[in-house]
Structure formats: C-alpha cells, structure tokens
Structure 1
C-alpha cells in the first residue's frame, strides 16, 4: 500500500487528495470490493453522485474499509431534478442517509441545466449547507465560464472545484484558464476519455518508452497539469495500477506531445449548455 500522493488545497482552506476513485457505472456487488481495493492501494478520495444509484453501497464500503472518517474525502452531487433551495437541501440529507455519513467533504451541483434557470438558487442552498457543516466544501460539475460568472455575480462565492470532462482529446483550455484566474480547482471526469485515449498512438509510444501503462501516462499528465482526477475501475489490479504512478515523471517533451492531442470535436459526454436530463 502507498499513500504517497499530493493534495490539492482549495480556496476555502480545505484540501483534497489529487487522485481519487470514481464510481460512475459502479453498481451492485462491484461497489464495495472496488472501494476496499482502492483504500488498500492508498486512495483516500471517493467520488459518487445521487444519480449513480450507488451511494448506499459506497457508504457500506466506507464503513468497512477501516480508515477513520476524517482521513477520507467523500464527494457526492445533487441531480438535475432536485435544483432549488429546499429540494437541494433535502437531496443532500437523503444522500447523507444513504452514505451513512454526517457530512460530505465536497458537494457538487452535477449539471447547470441552464434551461431550468435554477442553478443560482441551488448554489445559494449549497452555501447554506456549507455553513451548516453538512458539506465541508462546495463546488460544481460541468459548469461553463458564463455559469461560473453568474454564481460569482449572484452570491460573491465561487466553487472550490469544477468537475469537467477532461482528457487528452478534450483539454478545455479556455475553461481551465477561467479556473486558474479565479482560483477554482479543475477536476477531470472521464480522465481516460472513456478508454478511447488509451489507444492513441502517442500515448502508446510514451507508455512503451516509460515502461508504464497507457492509463498511468494519462493520469500522470493530469497530475502534472494540476488537475484533480477520478478514474473509475472495478478491477482491483487496474485500481492499483492507476494509483501506482508517483515515481513516474513526464518530461516537457512528453507533456507537449500530449498537449498536441487536443481535438476541437473531442467531447464525448453531453454539452453542458444543452444537457437537460431530469431523471
């Protein structure tokens, strides 16, 4: 087991492990063994969401893992159909009940759903939840610069993190620049491009040169870029491999080669400006 990993400090003074376990599409009997394997490998950060349908199992994994609660960083998210002041606050309590926790370390608005025009009200609820201590830090997911600016203009409070689709084929330079200018941490979901970037010839060549796996090369790129990153896997060996990258280092030439893989049409997931799924 290794716990030799960097931490990211938020603008609210709290901190989070830079590398965590994502649980999207982890369901049923796969959840608890994945969490136990991750904790054994050294992970201390676990990301889930109400819409994933696995918060109960995630909570059981946390309860069984043997790590003190204060040493774990747990994040979950409010889904699109729960936007609004009271419904958001109720949604977090429901998530806490499923997780078996008194608080989460990070609570996120999962999508802005701009057509509903309620994400500012939802953000105001998150600020109250933070002040009440039920969410230690608050952030968003899939927000664009205009959405983030509206939060700032409306409340004076910016998220500590924006969790976005981010991988070598879709690098979101403009959005990351906004984050940098406003001290918002960038967190990558789908950090491996749902597996597509693992077959990129440049990634394969770098992996061969460095005697590393393609996933390790990409995750190391994220780490050196300063991103928080949450790869998902249910395979214990892959979970360990994804974490075993602290002795790996990409030089400037390798970083530049990966930077050149960015594609204008590289988005795999939904467009946050139009995504409106409510259930």
Structure 2
C-alpha cells in the first residue's frame, strides 16, 4: 500500500473501499439495512484499511461491526464518515454535535480518522459555522482530519478564506470522461488531497478499449489502469465491489507505473 500525507500530518492510504451499498438488501443503495458484513469482511481480508461511509448511507453500524469483527486494532483502520448537508444536521451547533455523536456510536469508536461535510449547500456562511464545530473536534482529537465532499473551487475558496483549519480532503466524482481536473488542480494548489468516489464509473466502450490496450503490456485490466492513472495523479481512490476477486484486483496497483505518454492518453479520455 502507498500513502499520502494530509495537511494535518496524518497518512491516508491511496486506495480504500466505498461502502454505500454494503449491508443492504439486494445491494441497493435505498435497500433495507441487513447488517450483513460479508463484503466488508472480504475487503478487510484482502488488505483494505481505508473504509468510507456516511450518515446518509445509513450503514455506519455495519462498518463498525465489521471493524470489530476483524479482530484488528482500531488503529489499523482509516475510517471516513460524513455529515449530511441537511438542515437537521447543520442548523445549529447542537445539530452538528448530535450527528457526530451518532457517527461515533454507530462506528463503535471514540475517534474518526476523517470526517467530511457530505455536500455543499447555498448558505456558505452556514457551511463555515458547521466547519468551526468540526474544527473543535480536531482540537479534541476526536477527528484526525476534516474535509469536504463535492465542493467546487468557489466553495473551497470561501471555506479556505474563513477556516482556521484548512480542509484536508475534497472527495469528488472523478472517473473516465469526468476527471474533474480543474478541481483537483485547485486542491493541489492549496494542499487539499482529492479523493475519487465512483472512480470506475462512466466508462464508455471506446474508453474501455483504450484502457485495455494500455493495460496489456502490464498484464492489467482496464479498471486497474484507470485506478492507476488516478493514484499516479495523486488522487486517492475508493472503488467499491461486492465481488471478493475484483476487490483484490483493485488493490494490485503498485507493481506498475504508466508512462508520461500513457498518462496523457488516459487524461484525454
């Protein structure tokens, strides 16, 4: 595994697992919570330690149960969760603190490695007010790092202008056909690590053929080439699979390196 150091000095793995359909009936995002940890058990057994969840996914308890079930020390994991950008979680200090307390309880932990504002909303001053509460939890050691998700350059700049602790991560949509190069570049300028959700989404047949062609010389799949492009660009990736074999394949990214020409070809897809 390779790591990148966040602006708080904390190291985050370059690849983790998404979980937004884990522990749910029929693997459906809106499905009933079953509490089944099978997919996450397999991911942990394969070596995943960065685990991404959110209050909005309704399955933080599933992640907490899987981590406990693994028998590994809590310090072995890098847990990420997110506070929804909804009034019931953002309208007051008490609302923010209640959301945080819920995440800690569900995850069965007394600290969270990375806590994000799940998505922005129109009232940027209210976002800053929520952020200031999160900063206090960094001060107390409850959060090792804080960040945002789905923020654009304008929203990031407003937060940077008004924050005491700068965001460590911006989790964004990034995949073939929608690399989000501008937001990623802005983040790099300001020491904000970009993290890709859905990093294997949106691949056209044409792009898949090109990625497969690039992967042949490395004995790698189109998916591994796509993920390698992103981590080689300094972007943390959180793919998700319910298949144990594909979970293992997605970790096999550190025994090859794309050339500058290949990087340019993938960037253009």
Q: Per-residue deviation at 1:67?
A: 1.6
Structure 1, gaps ≥5 residues long: 262-279
1:51 paired residue number: 56
- Residue aligned with 1:80, SS: coil
- Residue aligned with 1:135, SS: coil
Render the CA deviation track for 1:40-71: whole Å, top value 9, x for unaligned.
11111100000111111111000011221111
1:12 paired residue number: 8
Matches for 1:133-152 after TM superposition, within 5 Å? 133-152=141-160
Matched-pair contact (CA < 8 Å) for 1:7–1:17:
yes
1:77 paired residue number: 82
- Residue aligned with 2:156, SS: helix
Matched-pair contact (CA < 8 Å) for 2:173–2:199:
yes
Matches for 1:125-274 after TM superposition, within 5 Å? 125-193=133-201, 200-261=208-269
1:91 paired residue number: 99
- Residue aligned with 2:137, SS: helix
1:275 paired residue number: none
Q: Per-residue deviation at 1:162?
A: 0.5
- Distance of aligned partners of 1:198 and 1:70 in 2 relative to their CA distance in 1, 3 Å threshold: farther
- Distance of aligned partners of 1:127 and 1:31 in 2 relative to their CA distance in 1, 3 Å threshold: farther
Is 2:119 the partner of 1:111?
yes
2:22 paired residue number: 26
Q: TM-score, with normalisation over the residues of structure 2?
A: 0.90
2 CA distance for matches of 1:196 and 1:59?
A: 36
2 CA distance for matches of 1:197 and 1:149?
A: 36
Q: Per-residue deviation at 1:27?
A: 2.9
Q: Per-residue deviation at 1:133?
A: 1.8
Q: Per-residue deviation at 1:183?
A: 0.6
Q: Per-residue deviation at 1:155?
A: 2.4
Question: What do you get for the CA RMSD once the two structures are aligned?
Answer: 1.8
2 CA distance for matches of 1:199 and 1:253?
A: 16
Once the two structures are overlaid, the 10-residue window that deviates more, 153-162 or 187-196, is: 187-196
- Distance of aligned partners of 1:170 and 1:254 in 2 relative to their CA distance in 1, 3 Å threshold: same
Once the two structures are overlaid, the 10-residue window that deviates more, 24-33 or 200-209, is: 24-33
2:30 paired residue number: none
Q: Per-residue deviation at 1:101?
A: 0.9
2 CA distance for matches of 1:198 and 1:27?
A: 34
- Residue aligned with 2:154, SS: helix
